[in-house]
Structure 1
Amino acid sequence: MTLHHVRRGTGSPLLLVHGLGAGWRSWEPIIDQLAESREVIAVDLPGFGETPPVEGEVSIASLADSVAGFIDEQGLDGVSTAGQSMGGRIVLELARRGVGGDTVALDPGGFWSDRELAIFSATLRPSIALVGALRSVLPALLGNPVSRTALLAQLSARPWALSAQTVLPDVAGLADSPSTGAAMDALTKGPKQQGAPLGTVPGLVTIGWGRRDLVTVPAQAHRAARAFPDAALHWFDRCGHFPQWDAPQEVIRLILGRTS
């Protein structure tokens, strides 16, 4: 399957992989500034954005397969990758397989305890259902700081400070993407993320985490670092689950500084 994607800028290529939500548009807060220094390729995973769903079961492995196939198809062997949330898990899975080059994973899933996973599922699924029920009025709700804060308290450390333009693509994408439910099942019912022994990953690996992440809570960062002992752990202060929302300039510096 060919993944829909956008390319911007020139220079050493950088592949961006989104999480649940808008597809490549999840990166709109930072993609243009990244493209001032790099050739940025941002994909829509199967069932998100403009890429049709895969046939058969959706799993983290199958989503990672689709990105690995895209890398091979596009002649991007050794490409640096960055991903957030589910996309962060996918780029770590690619690194574990030896695919790609330098890797930056922002608040990746898959490192939860059983209790944390149960809470994740029990809180995020109703939130996604609510977003679907409110789909027609989301632009108005997200345009108001009070209702935006109420809707996004689980996702952002400072939702009142964000713009509707920043958050609407991801929030609306939760309702609009045909694979949101299947991807949630893959995250909550599939296996946890495997690690990689010391010295087995290609390039630099960096794991970034929001200290106020209420979706993949900060305790999981230490498990991720133990699973990937080659990785450097970077903390985003006053930041929730979407660092590209809460700390866009810091994310840009981290990605450009830790990939080549």
Structure 2
Amino acid sequence: MLRQGTGTPLVLLHGVTCSERVWRQVIPLLAPHHDVIALTALGHRGGVPAQGPMGIQDLVDDVERSLDALGMQQVHVAGNSMGGWMAIELARRGRALSVCALSPAGCWDPSARNHRHATNILRRVMRVTELTRWMLPVMAQLKLVRSLGMRDNAVHGERMSADDLIDMADDLLGCAARHELLDSVGQLVGLDPLPCPVTLAWAECDRIFPPKLNGTLARTLLPQARWQLMAGVGHLAMIDDPSLVAEVIRMAACQELIPQT
């Protein structure tokens, strides 16, 4: 767990194969406004080990246990990709004061075609990481390597430090649940009316979940949600522009629920 700041609690949830470390550049920007808590998901490197088969609801159960241990009934929640889906599920369970879902997972078409598109990219990234991890301490020093290595997830992978790229590779390889989670084709169930304010913030240059496909489906599943397109960033928008991501999250926590008419 990474924790910094004071104020109303704000929980950050990462995407599949990542960890709390993906939020390191964003946390200090939110700390003046919130008690910021970044968690590592069940079955991921540094998180609670998974016991047996698991799916999205098991991940959400684990977050609820963390909230209970912290003595927190309701919190603002922001999540990216898988973490965005988890954030929406926490809202469904009544644990969220607000949700900022950054390119959330779970928004597949009925044929799961866009699910296969995403998982095919991620499996390729896994294979390349497995083959090249041994040379990263040297190669990650090069901006071109960082840019190419992160091209599916970020527009400006070169903005990462070499250590951050190595950490991300180790998070991926250390995620015991990675194959199981990618094999799962569960879908986000629509949420209407909303139990709390929800912002769908989509990365304009998202190659994993393109906004014209997954973003459009998300808007049909959560028709009352506030929609925002984040310009110039990729799927892991916190790598491309931590300041933009922090501001989007901060504003999402300020939203008020619009009553149905």
Same fold, TM-score > 0.5, yes or no: yes
Which consecutive unaligned segments of at least 5 residues does structure 1 have?
A: none
- Give a deviation string over 1:117-155, Cα, whole Å, max 9, x none: 222222211211211222222233332122222221111
SS at match of 1:89: helix
Aligned partner (choices 164, 170, 190) of residue 195 of structure 1: 190
CA shift, 1:168, in A, is 3.5
Letter in 2 for 1:213: D
Aligned partner (choices 214, 218, 222) of residue 211 of structure 2: 218
- Give a deviation string over 1:13-55, Cα, whole Å, max 9, x none: 1111111234111101111221122111111111223223221
Aligned partner (choices 108, 111, 115) of residue 112 of structure 1: 108
Alignment of 1:221-236 (within 5 A): 221-236=215-230
How far apart in 1 are the matches of 2:163 and 2:29?
17
- Give a deviation string over 1:99-124, Cα, whole Å, max 9, x none: 22111111111112322122222221
Give the conservation status (yes or no) of the 8 Å contact 2:74–2:94.
no
SS at match of 2:96: coil
Which consecutive unaligned segments of at least 5 residues does structure 2 have?
A: 255-261
How far apart in 2 are the matches of 1:228 and 1:156?
26
How far apart in 2 are the matches of 1:119 and 1:169?
25
How far apart in 1 are the matches of 2:21 and 2:150?
18
SS at match of 1:7: strand
Letter in 2 for 1:244: M
CA separation of 1:127 and 1:193: change in aligned 2, threshold 3 A: same
Which residue does 2:170 correspond to in 1?
172
Give the conservation status (yes or no) of the 8 Å contact 2:108–2:114.
yes
SS at match of 2:97: coil
How far apart in 2 are the matches of 1:52 and 1:71?
14
How far apart in 2 are the matches of 1:6 and 1:156?
23
Letter in 2 for 1:127: V
How far apart in 1 are the matches of 2:47 and 2:231?
34
Alignment of 1:1-16 (within 5 A): 5-16=1-12
CA separation of 1:230 and 1:72: change in aligned 2, threshold 3 A: farther
CA shift, 1:172, in A, is 2.7
Aligned partner (choices 158, 161, 164) of residue 163 of structure 1: 161
Report the count of equivalent residues: 251
CA shift, 1:250, in A, is 0.9
The answer to whether structure 1 residue 248 and structure 2 residue 228 are counterparts is no
